[in-house]
Amino acid sequence: MNQIKIILYALLSTFLFQSCRPEHTVQPDDGIAQKVEALLSRMTLEEKVGQMNQYSSFYDVTGPAPSDGKLKLKYEHLKKGLVGSMLNVNGVKEVREFQKLAVENSRLGIPLIFGFDVIHGHKTLAPIPLAEAASWDLEAIRRSAEVAATEAAAMGINWTFAPMIDITRDARWGRVMEGSGEDPYLGTQIGVARVNGFQGNDLSSVHTLAACAKHLAGYGFSEAGKEYNTVDMSTSTLFNVVLPPFKAAVEEANVKTVMNAFNIMNGVPSTGNAFLQRDILKGRWGFDGFVISDWGSIKEIESHGMAANLKETAMIAANAGSDMDMESYAYVTHLADLVEEGLVSEDKIDEAVRRILTVKYELGLFDDPYKYCNEEREKELLYHPDHLEAVLDMARKSIVLLKNEGDLLPLKRDQKGIAVIGTLASDKNSPLGNWRLGSDNNTAVSVLEGLDTYCTYTYAKGADLSTGIEVFNQDLTINTSDKSGFKEAVTLAKNAEIVIMVLGEHGMMSGEARSRTQIDIPGVQQDLLEAVYEVNKNIVLVLMNGRPLAIPWAAEHIPAIVEAWQLGTQSGHAVADILFGRYNPSGKLPMSFPRSVGQCPIYYNYFRTGRPGPRNEVFFSRYIDEDRTPLYPFGYGLSYSKFDYSNLVIDDSDQKRIKVAVQVSNVSDTDGEEVVQLYINDKAASIVRPVKELKGFEKIALKAKTSQTVTFELTDKELGFYDPNGDYKVESGMFDVMVGTSSTDGLTGSFQLK
């Protein structure tokens, strides 16, 4: 009888499960669905709840942890089958130990799934995601994620908490470094590329990871860029800006997991938000993976003021569709009671567990819980030469040339009299960025080491960036007064023909919980720059930073500026290759660079206002003390080549496929690459549309003195928008089109959609 029930249940659930899913997504194989049902039917309520519980290991913590680490409790729970997943377990040895605890002691021996923040590499680090986004090179980004997956999987990890696909517009927010910047179109393409890179074609391969699209939703819109702050946004922005990357991650890339967010959405914490998780994600989009909470975000429903105690938070989160609890201890403590009391239905528990077990089966963990645990593979693959090559390629492509007056760059191979100044030039840690948990400190190639392969130079740090005094045992305070090294630096600069200054933020000044109210070049570095400029104007400024910086003085005075972000393990080689012209810069900004912090949030795809200007009158949208435009706009970036755009042709004869063609010519003597960008503006619509929206781009390589015609097609997918109910609409009317080299520089035309 029981057997028949299981089969019927399996058939029914397979039917229900599949009927609401879009046809094009990969269907888990039927074998797995049946195995999941069979296992589920053998599980007690406590064991089911256990699968929904995730603990952090003791190796490192990535959120506020209980002071005693709850070690004893965690061990006990692992052995009793009350833990479904661990995070922050580092290395095969540790993974095996935890897996053993669960598999060999618990009644059903269900394997753990091991998650980790594999954000831009694991041992070998690629550039921070914001930098990678500047490459606009989807294949390189996919490959970078693939490398990250290979190394993390070799260390026993099965699941990454990446990609972060939050759209981010405020440079004050520390986590802009982890996303793809301000644009939903670019962010969507990159999100899909990253998920594909992590997950590959076969989740059960020992070289791939389950990916996690995070954070659903709106975390990137924290008010005033302050971490963990309130978010208050329109549904128009939610559907048109915030959700598209998530929708694509689910529908196009079949992402296996989604993480919810710390922030509220429409007054409801995302973690307890049924509209986001049940209606949109699992309902409208047919997401068939599972939802993980953010660290402690279930418990934080109480802090937000929507629950009176931990038990209520568990009820709200489970009912709202949060499938797994990261470090809140809410589910494991209260969920079984809530079911007994009828406050959460067991169906909802079953649904969550079914989702979690399915991913575990797909990863192959039931076939062999230790399949990711192989010390030899671990040794062979970490820092593998192919990986070093891939992240070097990615790093070169991520650099953005912001200014190059008088073609100061590239430097000649036989350039003499080079002075290098700035403590970041010798820093082997900061280029690794903030998310370097899985890697090793001081393993980046420094700029000095990169330059070593090209030239001789003199070096002075000029000033320390930080004082060495720690705050919260983690962050270093910034040196705002000690200028004792200036003299040495200025003397070197005086005697040099050219000065390379490496300035910016250290690695821990961006990332989670690293919001800033000042986004200029921090500490005494600006003064150092000005002091050196007094004696030598031939300065190449290399910026190292995890967010857009406001650098108006440098932009006005310094002849050459290179945005080198935090480029990961191969950082110094990539910078040197650019400075000496071995690689021709091809990056374009994925976020606008403001003139001053007061302009934040500043982004290119803003809404028109009733008084947009620009008119030289008082009563128009403007500042009285600052220009309204950014210092460097979205999509901007120079090359050592010169590109010319001509012959914009719009063919709207086929209204379902409007063709826009443009001729791009490399009019210089240098081979180069250009990102050709297409923007539209829906002139008058039923809701206000942004002044410009990126709707296509192509990165092309053009030999010196050659041309290429680039053609874009605009279909309903590009021309429509979501109304405030989330329904997609394509409306007739006039559209302006711009095709060019950045969001502010291109050829324009228009067409009518009938």
Residues marked as catalytic: 294
User: Which of residues 6, 25, 27, 63 is near ligand NOJ by CB under 6 A?
Assistant: 63
The residue behind tokens 């590499």 is 121
| Other CB atoms within 10 A of residue 187 CB | 28
Q: Please, how many CA atoms are within 13 Å of residue 297, restricted to the half-sphere of its CB?
A: 30
Contact flag: residue 62 with ligand NOJ (CB under 6 A): yes
Q: How far apart are CA 419 and CA 228, in angstroms?
A: 42
Residues 244-283 that bind ligand NOJ (CB under 6 A): none
Q: Which of residues 8-47 bind ligand NOJ (CB under 6 A)?
A: none
DSSP per residue, 443-488:
-SPPHHHHHHTT--EEEE--S-SEEEEEETTTEEEE-SS--TTHHH
Q: Which of 193, 163, 210, 203 is nearest to 253 (CA)?
A: 193
Residue 352, Cα to own-chain centre: how many angstroms? Answer: 26
d(C-alpha 573, C-alpha 540), whole Å = 16
d(CA 754, CA 750): 13
- Alpha-carbon distance of 615 to 305, in angstroms, equals 46
- Percentages (nearest 5) of helix, strand, coil residues in the chain: 35, 20, 45
Q: How many Cβ atoms sit within 10 Å of the Cβ of residue 123?
A: 22
Nearer to ligand NOJ, 53 or 639 (CB): 53
- The yes or no reply on residue 117 touching ligand NOJ (CB under 6 A) is yes
Count of Cβ atoms closer than 10 Å to residue 405 Cβ: 11
CA–CA distances in Å: residue 461 to residues 426, 500, 531: 8, 11, 13
Distance set, CA 399 to CA 99, 120, 132, 214, 576 (Å): 41, 16, 9, 25, 11
Distance between start and end Cα atoms, the chain = 62
Q: How far is CA 151 from CA 89, 194, 198, 381, 613, in A?
A: 14, 15, 11, 6, 52
Q: Does residue 463 contact residue 452 with C-beta atoms inside 8 Å? A: no
The nearest distance, CB 329 to ligand NOJ, in angstroms, is 15
Nearer to ligand NOJ by Cβ, of 87 and 335: the residue is: 87
Number of residues that bind ligand NOJ (CB under 6 A): 9
Question: DSSP string of 650-671?
Answer: EE-SSTTSEEEEEEEEE-SSS-
Positions of E strands within 267-315: 268-269, 290-292
- In one letter, which amino acid is 669? D
Helix (H) or strand (E) holding 544: strand 539-544
CB of 161 to ligand NOJ, least distance (A): 3
CB of 124 to ligand NOJ, least distance (A): 20
Site string for ligand NOJ, 291-320 (x = CB under 6 A): ---xx-------------------------
Torsion angles phi and psi, residue 413, rounded to 5: -60, -30
Contacts of 616 (CB under 8 A, 6+ apart): none
| CA-based torsion, 586, 591, 592, 596: positive or negative | negative
Q: Are 375 and 109 in contact (CB under 8 A)?
A: no
Taking the least distance from each CB to ligand NOJ, the nearer of 144 and 297 is 297
Q: Least Å distance between CB 442 and ligand NOJ?
A: 22
User: Kind of pairing, strands 290-292 and 325-326?
Assistant: unpaired
CA atoms within a 13 Å half-sphere pointing along the CA-CB vector of 540: 27
Number of residues written out for the chain: 754
Which residues in 71-100 contact ligand NOJ (CB under 6 A)?
87
Structure tokens at 126: 């690629």
Contact 466, 479 (CB under 8 A): yes
CA distance 326 to 57: 11
Antiparallel, parallel or unpaired: β 290-292 and 257-260: parallel
Based on the number of CB atoms within 10 Å of its own CB, is 1 exposed (0-12), middle (13-18) or buried (19 or more)? exposed
Would you count residue 325 as binding ligand NOJ (CB under 6 A)?
A: no
Contact 372, 156 (CB under 8 A): yes
Least Å from the CB of residue 219 to ligand NOJ? 8
- Work out which of 132, 166, 183, 512 binds ligand NOJ, going by CB under 6 A: 512
Asked if 437 and 88 touch (Cβ cutoff 8 Å), the reply is yes
Binding to ligand NOJ in span 186-245, by CB under 6 A: 214
**Binding flags for ligand NOJ, 541-580, as an x/- string (CB under 6 A):** ----------------------------------------
Distance separating alpha carbons of residues 564 and 401, to the nearest angstrom: 9
- Indicate the residue among 32 and 119 with the shorter CB distance to ligand NOJ: 119
Nearer to ligand NOJ, 9 or 228 (CB): 228
Rounded least distance, CB 586 to ligand NOJ, Å: 30
Bridge-based pairing of strands 672-682 and 693-702 is antiparallel
Binding site for ligand NOJ (CB under 6 A): 62-63, 87, 117, 161, 214, 294-295, 512
